[in-house]
Amino acid sequence: MSSAELEATETITELQIELQHVNGLVNEIKSENEELRQQLESANAFSKANQQRHAEWKAAWKVEREVLLLREKQLEKDEAKWRAKLDGLRKESDELERRKFMNNIEVEGAKVHGGVGLELLKDIASEHASKTEALINEASKWRDQYHASRTVCEELQAQYEQLQSRFERERSVSGSIQKEINSLQHALAEQIERSDNGSSSTEVIARDLKYQLSEKELRLEKLHQDVKSMQKARDDALSAKDELVASHQAELARMMQDVANYKANNLTLERRIQATTKEATLAVTAKTEFEESAKRALKELASLQKSMAAEEERNKLEMDQLCKELAQSDSRAKVQLASMKNLLVEEQARCKVLEQQCVDVQEFAMKQISDLAKDLKQTDDCKEQQLLLAKDQIMKYDNTIAELQRELAHTHQTHQNEVQRLQHACEACHKDLNLVLFERKEMEKSVATDKIKVAQMQKVLEETETSMQKLESKYQVIEGEKAILVQNLDELNDENDALRNKLKCASEDMRLLKESEATEREKTEGALKNEVGKVRQELAKEKRRSNAYKSKALESHRRSVQAKEVLDSLCG
């Protein structure tokens, strides 16, 4: 009996010692839990500070985005102004092209109109080239910034993927640990259910262990919730950063598209300027040719006027001389005609006299013949003598008649020849007169056409003078617009410089924010790694302790059973 009591007292003392040891372990676990709570509070404070920094960073990015939006609006306004000016230039070019189709003289005038603005077009082309170079440089700067930001975003994405993979691994490890804890809890609960007849001390110890395990589970759940909240905050910050980067990329893409559109517009404008310069050069050459042709035409006109004046004077003198000669020839012809008429009358009178003489001679001869016939009765000698005399007289009369007839025919022939000659001379004079009149009409026509040409040339010169005046006025207006454009360009350059400075400041702030974010990320990663390592260590300790508690509980249960059996045997 004494030995059994001694064994029971020994087991009770051992159980008390184990309970004290368990209480010490519980106190250690409480202190460790306090340390874990402090670490969680520091992690929460760090996450809150990180969230505040992310909020400040987001607000700064919003401000920069508003500045960029304002700059885009200003650029759109400037682009609208340039487009309006380009439309004005296009309208002027269309008006010039419409003027080209009036007529050949107006075409040359339009070319002159284009040639006057050649220097202005060269100035506009040079300004346009400088602006395009500035825009190309700015686009290259934006492209470099875009590539740099893209590389930074890719690095951040890679870091985020690494963190995500690490978080997945940690979550899988924590899940496995949770499964082990649940299995241990289930085994402990089963063991406690099996040991219904155990001592109250073991039940208290089991209850304490269960309570401690529940507290640890609650702390682990809280730790998981804190980790999830930190992960959510990090995801929110990364999503905000991704949104900002995406908006920045979209803005850069839109700006690049605007730059590309502006380059296309610049190319079209350069092509139009090249076409206008070609037209201007052609117009200048045409202008010089037109001026040379006008000078030649003026010289030819002056020489033609001089030659026309000399020709008119010469024609007048020739006409006067021809008129005088015609009058003299008419008077001579009239005098000759009158003399010929008189001669004809005289010849006719002579012919009549000769005819009368012939008639008288014939009558006298017939009378003599009749007398001779009457005197046939006379002697032969007298008859022969009389016949011979009569024959001689008849022959003489025949000869005189023949001579008179020949002379009459000759005078008639000469009169006809003279009349024909005078007629031919009159016809030649009339032909010369008609030729002179025709030449005079031709000269009058040529003089009229030359006068019309001179009037047209004077009209063209007046139109060119008016067009030159209009061009000078337009050139003055364009010079004023050019001065305004230069002023606007200076303002735009100042604004661009200010925007570049702002962008530099923003890029510097972004770099600082990225550096701070990287440092904070490193700190958070280090803290999370440390916390995860501590949690793993704690879980390993808890596992070892739970195994120890389990073995001790089993041993105490076995001893309590033995003590109970001993007590039952003693009581029995």
pLDDT digits (tens, 9 = 90+) for 268-280: 656 765 665 566 5
Q: What is the pLDDT of residue 512?
A: 75
Q: What is the pLDDT of residue 545?
A: 73
Task: Give dist(CA 116, CA 121) in Å, integer.
Answer: 10
* Mean pLDDT computed over every residue of the chain: 66
Q: What is the pLDDT of residue 106?
A: 42
Cβ atoms within 10 Å, residue 401: 16
The angle formed by the CA atoms of residues 499, 503 and 506, to the nearest 5 degrees, is 140
pLDDT of residue 104 exceeding 50, the answer is no
More confident residue, 173 or 118: 173
Task: Give dist(CA 143, CA 147) in Å, integer.
Answer: 6
Nearest to 301 by CA among 456, 105, 466, 442: 456
pLDDT band at 260 (very low <50, low <70, confident <90, very high): low
pLDDT digits (tens, 9 = 90+) for 190-200: 655 554 444 44
Q: What is the pLDDT of residue 103?
A: 45
| Average pLDDT over every residue of 379-396 | 67
Evaluate whether 113 touches 99 at the Cβ level (below 8 Å).
yes
Q: What is the pLDDT of residue 199?
A: 44
pTM: 0.27
pLDDT above 90: percentage of residues in the chain: 0
Output the six-digit token pair for 46: 């760090």
Q: What is the pLDDT of residue 191?
A: 52
Q: Cα-flanking dihedrals φ and ψ of residue 101, to 5°? A: -95, 20
- The string of DSSP letters for 14-32 reads HHHHHHHHHHHHHHHHHHH
pLDDT band at 116 (very low <50, low <70, confident <90, very high): very low
Q: What is the pLDDT of residue 424?
A: 77
Q: Where are the domains of the chain?
A: 2-303+464-571, 305-463
Task: Give dist(CA 351, CA 358) in Å, integer.
Answer: 10
Q: What is the pLDDT of residue 65?
A: 67
Evaluate whether 249 touches 146 at the Cβ level (below 8 Å).
yes
| Average pLDDT over every residue of 308-319 | 72
pLDDT of residue 33 exceeding 70, the answer is no
What residues contact 105, with CB distance under 8 A and at least 6 apart?
A: 460, 463
Task: Give dist(CA 80, CA 107) in Å, integer.
Answer: 33
Cβ atoms within 10 Å, residue 532: 18
Task: Give dist(CA 8, CA 2) in Å, integer.
Answer: 10
pLDDT digits (tens, 9 = 90+) for 145-176: 656 666 665 676 666 676 666 667 666 666 66
pLDDT band at 462 (very low <50, low <70, confident <90, very high): confident
Nearest to 446 by CA among 571, 299, 300: 300
Output the six-digit token pair for 451: 């006068």
pLDDT digits (tens, 9 = 90+) for 86-98: 676 667 656 666 6
pLDDT digits (tens, 9 = 90+) for 34-87: 776 676 676 667 667 666 766 676 676 677 667 767 766 776 776 677 667 667
Evaluate whether 548 touches 186 at the Cβ level (below 8 Å).
no
pLDDT band at 544 (very low <50, low <70, confident <90, very high): confident
pLDDT of residue 120 exceeding 50, the answer is yes
Q: What is the pLDDT of residue 205?
A: 55
Distances from the Cα of 361 to the Cα of 346, 366, 368, 397, 501, angstroms? 21, 8, 10, 7, 151
Q: What is the pLDDT of residue 432?
A: 72
Q: What is the pLDDT of residue 385?
A: 72
Q: What is the pLDDT of residue 145?
A: 64
Q: What is the pLDDT of residue 58?
A: 67
Nearest to 562 by CA among 186, 7, 159: 7
More confident residue, 493 or 128: 493
Task: Give dist(CA 549, CA 9) in Å, integer.
Answer: 22
What residues contact 567, with CB distance under 8 A and at least 6 apart?
A: 4, 8
pLDDT digits (tens, 9 = 90+) for 401-412: 677 677 767 777
Task: Give dist(CA 221, CA 40) in Å, integer.
Answer: 12
Q: Amino acid identity, residue 128?
A: H
Task: Give dist(CA 268, CA 41) in Å, integer.
Answer: 66
pLDDT of residue 250 exceeding 70, the answer is no
Region of residue 198 (phi > 0: left; psi between -120 and 50: alpha; otherwise: beta): beta
| Average pLDDT over every residue of 341-354 | 68
Task: Give dist(CA 404, CA 423) in Å, integer.
Answer: 28
The position carrying tokens 């040891």 is: 21
pLDDT band at 491 (very low <50, low <70, confident <90, very high): confident
pLDDT of residue 189 exceeding 60, the answer is no
pLDDT of residue 376 exceeding 60, the answer is no
Evaluate whether 268 touches 421 at the Cβ level (below 8 Å).
no
CA-derived radius of gyration, the chain: 71
Q: Cα-flanking dihedrals φ and ψ of residue 52, to 5°? A: -65, -45
Nearest to 170 by CA among 543, 528, 539: 528
DSSP 8-state symbol, 461: H
Evaluate whether 250 touches 82 at the Cβ level (below 8 Å).
no
pLDDT of residue 111 exceeding 60, the answer is no
Task: Give dist(CA 273, CA 124) in Å, integer.
Answer: 9
pLDDT of residue 452 exceeding 70, the answer is yes
Q: Cα-flanking dihedrals φ and ψ of residue 195, to 5°? A: -90, 55
Give the chain's largest Cα–Cα span: 262
| Average pLDDT over every residue of 133-150 | 65
Q: What is the pLDDT of residue 198?
A: 46
Torsion sign across C-alpha atoms 197, 199, 202, 206: positive
Q: What is the pLDDT of residue 279?
A: 63
Least confident of 46-60, 239-253, 297-311, 501-515: 239-253
Distances from the Cα of 514 to the Cα of 63, 244, 298, 334, 510, angstroms? 17, 13, 82, 131, 6
Least confident of 220-224, 415-419, 545-549: 220-224
Q: What is the pLDDT of residue 114?
A: 44
Distance between terminal CA atoms of the chain? 12
pLDDT band at 399 (very low <50, low <70, confident <90, very high): confident
